Structure 1
Amino acid sequence: MLRSFLRTEAGSTSVLLVATVLALLWANSPWGDTYEAFWHTPVGLSFGDAQLSLDLRHWVNDGLMTLFFFLIGLEVSYEVRLGQLRDRRLIAVPAVAAFGGMLVPAAVYLLFNAGGPGAGGWGVPIATDTAFVLGVLAVVGARCPEPLRAFLLTLAIVDDVLAIMIIAIFYTAELSVPALIIAALVLAAIVTLRWLKIWRAPAYIVLGFALWLATLESGVHPTLVGIALGMLVFVYAPTDHKLLLAGEAVQGFTVAPSAAAAREAARRVQRAVSVNERLQLRLHPWSSYVIVPVFALANAGVRLDGETLSAAVTSPIAIGVALGLLVGKFAGIALGTWLPLRLKWGILPGNLVWGQVLGGAAVSGIGFTVALFIVDLAFDDPALHDQAKIGILAGSLLSAALGWVIFRLAWNRGGVCAPPDAEPSQDLPKTLAVPVGRGDHVRGPASAKVTIVEYADFECPYCGRLQPILEEVLRQNPDVRMVFRHFPLRTLHPRAAPAAIVAEAAADQGRFWEMHDILYSNQRFLTDADLERYAAQLGVEPWADVPRHVARIAVDEESGQASGVRGTPTLFINGVRYEGSHDLDSITRAVEDLRRAT
């Protein structure tokens, strides 16, 4: 899910950038007057005597953007239940960093605007634009390891939730109590349907639209409906029963292909995945490639003539926004990262170093979508609108440039679970720092001419794909032995460390390799209950001596770090780092070359 999200958001950055440029060109063209005229065109719906009329910009900002925030709600719901936000240790640092990244920019802005006409715009520089940030990180490439992307995505999720709360509390106009009561009743009806496990899409669509209308009339910004509904969408991990039914249906189709069998297989496979994930898959492209770019086209247009620019240069609003994004975001996230680490509230993901974190803090100053959104809520004066937008553009460009410079100066990758060709070659140790010894887990003859040492993670999918290949290498080559060493990537794979502990418990009974094979055959099912079931199958007590097993795993990790291991799987063949492809032919060829050499 995380990889899919990253690819979608980063890939859509170019579309968002084109929409922004088009808005600026349109607003500054000889036909610039038509920009505002077009977006103020009234469009309405009528139901008998009842009418709902908004201009095009408000249909985009209040309507389409509700779907954008709905997706944020889906993402939050997924991450809280199944993703990175389950583990307090993993979210403590990015969550506090997100708080810092909002408080400090607001304070910087208010240094220039407290008590002035622009004081209400303090919320403009507080939010990070996830799409633009991930787009910049994609350009940075290998200098930004995946754990940093995961760290910044978690930060962005917390940032979005906080921004929504700020909009609800501080940027709500006069409230209509009757409309609020109606909205609360409709929301209660939706919660009741969910509690009764009634999953009829038309019912939710009708009630969702009614909730949006009631919220629009209440004075509360209707985009709040989006995140609330998104967080209510049911999410679950596939159960063994559903996976079994899906597998049987697919098998039935392969045995007797037919339209009916294909439909049943598709239905069973679809039901194995939660509604939350299916909606994300369907709506992310629409949000990334249509809704957000249209929002940018409707809101990013600002005249950049001499008069406007000269006013912005001396405007406390433009200066406050720009410095809030550039300086405030950088300082707030850096301080918010340092503090929980200092107090031992959490850990940094992977093997991240401060240079990478500071680069991520800098690019987080790219504020666009939510910043423009809050501009529309904070200011009524068109002149103040333009000044704030110029501040957003200037601060975002400078933040991107600062992040690029920091990444150029602080190139040091972190731990990565990735295919072998995902990263370019690095200046890392080429030899195994700790020779194979008595404490290692060895499969194969002690007199083997060739020894393959694998640093691996039981939850890493690339490690899982490599296992049958290594088994085939051992089968074809009786004079080759295999050594397994633990290197759990705790941030990317939170179940890897418990799985390693259970494998060590099995090793106490001389059954390490049996547990090794069970774990790799069941990578999707590594909860504590699953691990206890696997241990029971082998007659192993999984949690009998956890401190000793943790210390044993740490020995492997330290040897891997000393050997320059930065991700999984990493192989050493006869003590030398293997840098070829992880396929049967390539590994077999490397083994044969070493056999001939010895």
Structure 2
Amino acid sequence: MLRAFFRTEVGSTSVLLVATALALLWANSPWGDTYESFWHTSMGISFGTAEFSLDLRHWVNDGLMTLFFFVIGLEVSYEVRLGQLTNRRLIAVPAVAALGGMLVPAGIYLLLNFGGPGAGGWGVPIATDTAFVLGVLAVVGARCPEPLRAFLLTLAIVDDVLAIIIIALFYTAGLSVPALISAVVLLAAIVTLRWLKIWRAPAYIVLGFALWVATLESGIHPTLVGIALGVLVFVYAPTDQKLLLAGEAVQGFTSEPSAQAAREATLRVQRAVSVNERLQLRLLPWSGYVIVPIFALANAGVRLDGETLRAALTSPVSIGVALGLLVGKFAGIALGTWLPLRLGWGILPGNLVWGQLLGGAAVSGIGFTVALFIVDLAFDDSALHDQAKIGILAGSLLAAALGWVIFRLAWDRGGVCAPPEAEPAEELPETLTVPVGPDDHVRGPADAKVTIVEYGDFECPYCGRLHPILEELRRTHPDVRLVFRHFPLRTLHPRAASAAIVSEAAADEGRFWEMHTMLFDNQRFLTDADLEHYAAELAVEPWSDVPAHVARIARDEESGHASGVRGTPTIFMNGVRYQGPLNRDSISGAVEELRESP
């Protein structure tokens, strides 16, 4: 489910960028006056003397965005019951980080705007835009492991829920009690249908639309309806009985294909999967590729002429929003991550390293969809409206740039995959405890002047970056010998152990180094199916002698632990731990010193 969500959000980022650019071009074109006039065009329905009408922008912000928040509600419900949020210790850290990432930006904004006309906009810099964040992480690539995406997705879910609560409590106009009572009755009717297990889509659609209208008329923002209904949709893991029935129906179709058998198999397979997951599969593309881009097109247009930009440069609203997103999000999330880890309230998914977490905290300052949404609720004054939008655009661009720089610096300075608290307090050994022997994977002459022993992990991005450096070093220095020992970090890189096993199967056929190169060249694709494909290319049986290969890998790990290895890659040169940066110049310089030494 997470992978499907990632693919949709990342893919939709480009569409969202195009829609944002179109809105800005439209608003700043010679036909810029038509931008506002178009979105203020009224559209509605009437029945006799009764009429219900909104302008196009409110149909988007109050109507289509309700579907967007419905999808968020589905995701929250799934993650709490079956996904990432089922592990309470995994929730604690991103939840506190999300809270810090809202409080600090709001505080920074209020420091600049308290008591002024823009004070009500303190909610603008509090929200993170998941689609843009995941899009930036996709560009970051191997520098951003999947556990960081899972951490940021959990943070974004909590962030969205808190943002909805803030909208309900602080950005709701005067209440209409009769409409509010009608909304409560309609919501109770939907809950009753759910309790009675009556699954008729038309009934839910009619009641849901009526609930949306009642909520809109009550003064409460109707997007709350979306997240509430999303949370109410049933989530369940497939039962053995449903899986068995689905399997029997599919088998019946394959043995005697017919239209009736195909229909029965389709129904059985669908029933094995919860309604929540089916709705997510159908609605996520609509949300990512249609609803959010239309929202951006309707709201991101702001004039960027000289007068507007000059006003924004000195406006506490623009500055407060930009600083809140850039500095507040980074500081709040970093502090909110450190505090629960320090107090032992929770753990990180995959035991992430701090460089990755700080990069993630920086890109979380990209606030767009919900930020623009709150701008529309917080400001009636058009000037403040435009200044807040400029602050969002500036802060988001700067946050993306800061995140990129942090990821790049952590990568270029040389990194080691290890948990934040991986290094023990005691002094680690500096020498290799188990010398190179006939059981090792060795490349180079036995009488080499320099022997480099690497403890590595095939899924570790830093090992992947080190691989071409060592290969080039071996090609340019014939008197250098390379030795690879396995040190798979199972909690951080769940596919590393399987990759190590397949490499040992290749070693049995004398093809270890070919498999070694193939695995590092395809680090992002290490599923069992991928590994079997690579093994087939080298005519290797991947799972031929798993117990023996696991024992062989364990011996490497044991020697690594004895030598003080705690993360990957760790390298030893001529039996001494190398402490410098893991880049080409530093490693080459260290090798040259050893080659020139007597």
Give the aligned residue type for 2:258: S
**Closer/same/farther in 2, CA of residues 133 and 474 from structure 1, 3 Å limit:** closer
Structure 1 residue 450 displacement after superposition: 4.2
Q: What does residue 302 of structure 2 align with?
A: 302
Q: Call closer, same or farther: CA 1:329–1:559 in 2, change over 3 Å.
A: farther
Q: 1:214 to 1:243 in 2, by over 3 A?
A: same
CA distance in 1, matches of 2:32, 2:118: 26
Structure 2 counterpart of 1:384: 384
Displacement, 1:369?
0.3
Which one-letter code corresponds to 2:356 in the other structure?
Answer: Q
- Contact in 2 for aligned 1:109/1:324 (Cα 8 Å): yes
Is the aligned partner of 1:215 residue 2:215? yes
Does the 8 A contact of 1:145 with 1:414 survive in 2? Answer: no
2:464 to 425, 431, 436: 425
**Where does residue 510 of structure 1 map in the other structure?**
none
SS at match of 2:204: helix
Query: What is residue 172 of structure 1 aligned with on the other side?
Result: 172
The verdict on how the C-alpha distance between 1:404 and 1:41 changes in structure 2, with shifts beyond 3 A counting, is same
- Cα drift, residue 119 of structure 1: 0.3
* Contact 2:46–2:52 (CA under 8 A) maintained in structure 1: yes
For the residue of structure 2 that corresponds to 1:51, the secondary structure is strand
Instruction: Note closer, same or farther for the CA distance 1:144–1:422 as it changes in structure 2 (3 Å cut).
Output: closer
**1:316: Cα distance to partner?**
0.3
Matches within 5 A, 1:449-460: 450=508
**Cα distance in 2 for residues equivalent to 1:51 and 1:486:** 76
CA drift of 1:482 comes to 2.9
Matched, 1:44 2:44: yes
Which deviations, in whole Å up to 9, do the C-alpha atoms of 1:562-589 show, x marking residues without a partner? 49679xxxxxxxxxxxxxxxxxxxxxxx
8 Å Cα contact 1:143-1:413 kept in structure 2: no
Residue 162 of structure 1 corresponds to: 162
TM-score normalized by the length of structure 1: 0.75
CA contact (8 A) 2:487 2:568 kept: no
Structure 1 residue 402 corresponds to structure 2 residue 407 = no
Q: Partner residue of 1:547? A: none
Partner of residue 527 from structure 2, selected from 429, 439, 462: 462
Match of 2:423 in 1: none
Partner of 1:431, secondary structure, is strand
Rate the CA distance shift 1:12–1:557 in 2: closer, same or farther, 3 A. farther
1:418-567 matched pairs, under 5 angstroms = 425-427=464-466, 431-432=484-485, 450=508, 462-463=527-528, 482-484=548-550, 562=565
The residue aligned with 2:269 is: 269
Residue pair 2:325, 2:367 contacting (<8 A) in 1 also: yes
Structure 1 residue identity aligned to 2:548: M
C-alpha displacement at 1:413, in angstroms?
A: 7.4
Q: Hey, what does 1:106 align to over in structure 2?
A: 106
| Contact in 2 for aligned 1:363/1:400 (Cα 8 Å) | yes
1:73 is aligned to 2:138: no
Structure 1 residues 469-497: Cα deviation after superposition (integer angstroms, max 9, x where no partner): 99x9779978x96343799xxxxxxxxxx
Question: For residues 520-576 of structure 1, what are the alpha-carbon distances to aligned partners after superposition, in whole Å with 9 as ceiling and x for unaligned?
Answer: xxxxxxxxxxxxxxxxxxxxxxxxxxxxxxxxxx9899699949679xxxxxxxxxx
- Aligned in 2, Cα 1:433/1:131: closer, same or farther, shift over 3 Å? closer
Is contact 1:105-1:332 (8 Å) kept? yes
Residues 404 and 434 (structure 1 numbering): CA distance in 2 closer, same or farther, change over 3 Å?
Answer: closer
Name the structure 1 match of 2:188: 188
Task: State the match for 1:4 in structure 2.
Answer: 4
Q: Can you list the C-alpha shifts for 1:68-91, whole angstroms capped at 9, x where unaligned?
A: 000000000000000010111111
Residue pair 1:142, 1:424 contacting (<8 A) in 2 also = no
CA-based RMSD:
3.5
Name the structure 2 match of 1:519: none
Do 2:120 and 2:378's aligned partners in 1 also have CA atoms closer than 8 Å? yes
* Cα drift, residue 432 of structure 1: 2.9
Distance 1:31 1:201, change over 3 A: same
Identity of aligned residues (%): 77
**Cα distance in 2 for residues equivalent to 1:422 and 1:153:** 21
Whether the aligned pair in 2 keeps the contact of 1:147 and 1:415 (CA below 8 Å) is no
Counterpart of 1:279 in structure 2 is 279
Cα offsets for 1:338-374 (capped at 9, x unmatched): 0001001111221411111010000000000000000
Go from structure 1 to structure 2 and tell me whether the alpha carbon gap of 1:29 and 1:147 turns closer, same or farther (over 3 Å shift): same
Q: Evaluate the alpha carbon distance shift between residue 2 and residue 415 of structure 1 in structure 2; reply closer, same or farther with a 3 A threshold.
A: farther
For residues 190 and 464 of structure 2, the distance between their equivalents in structure 1, rounded to whole angstroms, comes to 53
Residue 390 of structure 1 aligns to a residue whose secondary structure is: helix
Query: Which secondary structure does the structure 2 equivalent of 1:482 belong to?
Result: helix
Distance 1:241 1:401 in 2: 51
Query: 1:310-356: per-residue Cα shift (whole Å, max 9, x none)?
Result: 00000000000000000000000000000001001111221411111
- Cα 1:557–1:371 shift into 2, 3 Å: farther
Deviations 1:99-145 (A, max 9, x none): 00000000000010000000000000000000000001111111111
- Give the aligned residue type for 2:378: A
Letter in 1 for 2:256: A
* Shift in CA distance, 43/316, structure 1 to aligned 2, threshold 3 Å: same
TM-score (norm 2): 0.75
State the Cα distance separating 1:265 from its structure 2 match. Answer: 1.0
Q: Secondary structure at the match of 1:427?
A: helix
Alignment of structure 1 residues 293-372 onto 2, 5 Å: 293-372=293-372
Q: Structure 2: any 5+ residue segments left out of the alignment?
A: 420-456, 468-481, 489-500, 502-506, 513-524, 570-598
Shift of 1:462: 3.1
Instruction: Tell me which residue corresponds to 1:492.
Output: none
Residue 237 (structure 2) aligns with: 237
Residues 565 and 409 of structure 1, relative CA distance in 2, 3 Å threshold: closer
SS in 1 for 2:53: strand
